[in-house]
Amino acid sequence: MQRFTRVFLGGFIVGLLIVGCRMLSNVSPQIQSTARIVQPLDSDWHFYKGDAAGAEQPQFDDSTWRRLDVPHDWSIEGPFDPNNPTGGAGGFLPAGIGWYRRHLILPNEYADKRIYVEFDGVMANSDVWINGLHLGHRPYGYVSFRYDLTGKVRLGPNQLNILAVRADNLLQPASRWYAGAGIYRHVRLIVTEPLHIDQWATFVTTPYVDPQLALVNVKTAILNQTKQDQDAAIDLQIIGPDGAIVQSGRSDARTIASGERAEYQIELKVTDPMLWDLERPNLYKAVVKVVSGGKVVDDEQVTFGICKAEFRAESGFWLNDKNVRIKGVCLHHDGGAFGAAVPLAVWERRLQRLREFGVNAIRTAHNPVAPEFLDLCDRMGLLVMDEFFDCWTIGKNPGDYHLYFNDWSKIDLRDTILRDRNHPCIIIYSVGNEIRDTTRPEMAKAILKGLIDVCHRYDPTRPVTQALFRPNVSKDYDNGLADMLDVIGTNYRDRELLAAWQARPTRKIIGTEQRHDLETWLAMRDNPQHAGQFLWTGVDYLGEAWRWPVVGAGSGLLDRTGRPRPIAYQRASWWSDRPVVYAVRRVAVERRMPDDPGFEPLARPQVLFADWTPADLGPHMETVEVYTNCAQVELQLNGRSLGIKQRDPNDAPLTWQVEFEPGQLKAIGLDSGRPPVVCQLQTAGRPARIVLAADRTELRPCWDDVCHVEAMVVDGNGVVVPSADHMIRFLVSGPGTIAAVDNGSLYSHEPFQATQRRAYQGYCMAYLKATGQTGRITLTATADGLQEASISLEAAPLR
């Protein structure tokens, strides 16, 4: 049985602000460790939407270009248009070419140093120049990359350097979902001594882990870019979650020839380790220092977690010798109103809400994510399937990655594994989603072998899977392709996956993409060999729209704004450990087939409504579903009992046929020895006022910090009016700004970068950012015919 045990590192070099507090000023602060400098380059870029001949040259005049900070996604600024070349796949948002230029003045102190620029992601087909010199090209918009600026820049207070970036996603459609455009992730300058730790070279594993002892094995590599041979050793400190040094060691000194790279390894014992797990995601810090000539010439500080993870054929996934059912969701990378440039606070709120419904794992569908997203999963104790590609050599759109796969796939895969392999949250890699090459099995198997070899070469501790596409059709279970995978993954066809396990019980299996239905849940619940599932999806996303006017996909447990859908509570009744009872109305929808006259495939019709305010307030019958994990549920209407029902042993919802009357519908969950759990629905009256609710009381002036303010239209009793569609106007005073607005509607074509939004089902959202470190920020919401509302929070200093 193959086991995967390791210590993980989660983080970047010292000084990177993982939580995301970057100054919103023209000059980014330098963050200096003992030996290296990491300088954020997020602020004060010049941007032009369109092509600009000669814009890579230093003398080019960019004085009329727009000034902005990155991360920046220019496509999300719209407008939505059915004629945009991205089509429904890209949410009918624009595409094309965008230019960015950054003016740099670098101090004389950087002489005799190595200077690098590092991009976390540029969408897409990026070219980068420094002072007119072409540094390189990367077609894949999801990968991180670095260029060496040493010897190409001018130093001194009067010496201007121009860093230019061209991003091109003109060939469309280029994705099956909204991808964004531009420098949509963070950028930084890294300055080191010529004798320094190589990029992404540090790798930590554990050959042994138990509650009393962990062996921590640290490998790294030093690059000697001086003109002479150099003697160097590695110092290592391990700092515990409480901030105390728990272990330290030093390697032997070695001589590294000029221009050469030398690898180092240190193994230390950590007694009574505090393990990383789902409930207690303990994180350590490792400080790696390069010592030469009696002084520290380079260092890195990273966070890591100690844990043991493995998949077993007969019993699924195990974490720290505990059997864990993987209860996952697939997530695309957009953040709704923010497009692809997503502040970390948006992800933190989404992930926290998903956890409340029992989710413990994320599949990064279908591409590498921003590094800070993985840092967040590390801190929150969420498992991750790290996925890389949506296609190989057979594309799904004209501008897909298949155009570049043969030249770039192994490079992109290598770089992403090196970047990601130290995160404790990552438990498995996926090298493809619904790959169409599998219809040509011999070609597909050769490609798959090459991808698996790259994964195992750069990270032998983690298994590799692939989200198989109709494997019984392409005979993947029979022709040897599926068995090349360490863990066999299949989309949607869980019963076929279980049959494949029955045919060969040594196979390890996992569901890589699943529906929300009961049958699919039971396939995992009742089969211990089934390691887990990833629902499609956790959150609604832009793109993959069937036809205008729809601009997004509504398959999430949460909508784009993070508001839970009714199916989230059904999922909680299956997945959550907390008591759940939740009542909804189920409305029958006419089913029409594609060959019916007038068939219009738009968004999935809404059939579940978490209210007691149907359009028809007269006498009629309503179907009421109650989702619960309580032993019994009593349903009451206006204080009258409509009966008590026992929980279904197969987790089906409890159903009542109820003659509607206005008032109060109440579901009461009953369990022996526990207080009752109540869900209450109230018939809404006429819209009367706006109510605001904020998710925080303080807001810091950094790119990743955002306050979510929900605006709800309610009646005189405070009940949300689901039919309300008022235009809500927002006004902010104090050191804050409205970064975006949204309402979660899949049909809305309103701009996200605005100060007003029409309510959808009585609800919309304003996203606030701070522009200063002190003072009171006040948001006021108004609408015609409604009583206005205000809410305040404090601007807070950076930490």
Q: Which residues are catalytic?
A: 434, 513
The alpha carbon of 207 is separated from its chain's Cα centroid by a whole number of angstroms, namely: 30
Q: Give the SS3 label for residue 571.
A: helix
d(CA 502, CA 512): 19
Q: Give the SS3 label for residue 520.
A: helix
Instruction: Classify the phi-psi angles of 313: left when phi > 0, otherwise alpha if psi is within -120 to 50, otherwise beta.
Output: alpha
- Which among 262, 538, 556, 235 has a CA at the least distance from the CA of 385? 538
Under a CB-based contact definition with an 8 Å cutoff, are residues 617 and 648 in contact?
A: no
Under a CB-based contact definition with an 8 Å cutoff, are residues 184 and 340 in contact?
A: yes
In our burial notation (b when 16+ CB lie closer than 10 A, e otherwise), range 367-384 reads bbbbbbbbbbbbbbbbbb
CB count in 10 Å sphere of residue 254: 14
Order across the sheet with 361-364: list the strands: 509-513, 488-491, 464-468, 426-433, 383-387, 361-364, 326-331, 532-535
**Helix, strand, coil % in the chain, rounded to nearest 5:** 15, 40, 45
d(CA 349, CA 371): 17
d(CA 34, CA 32): 7
d(CA 280, CA 306): 11
What is the DSSP annotation of 375-397? HHHHHHT-EEEEE--S-SSS-SS
- Give whole-number Cα distances, 521 to 330, 503, 510, 573, 607, in Å: 15, 22, 13, 12, 20
d(CA 266, CA 33): 22
d(CA 695, CA 664): 28
Classify burial at 525, counting beta carbons within 10 Å of its beta carbon; exposed 0-12, middle 13-18, buried 19 or more: middle
Cis ω for the linkage preceding 173 (within 30 of 0): yes
d(CA 268, CA 254): 20
Under a CB-based contact definition with an 8 Å cutoff, are residues 89 and 544 in contact?
A: yes
Q: Give the SS3 label for residue 522.
A: helix
Under a CB-based contact definition with an 8 Å cutoff, are residues 533 and 494 in contact?
A: yes
* DSSP bridge pairs for 729: 756, 782
d(CA 508, CA 489): 9
Under a CB-based contact definition with an 8 Å cutoff, are residues 509 and 523 in contact?
A: no
CA atoms within 13 A of residue 288's CA, in its CB half-sphere: 27
CB count in 10 Å sphere of residue 641: 11
CB count in 10 Å sphere of residue 797: 12
E strands, 415-456, in order: 426-433
d(CA 340, CA 473): 35
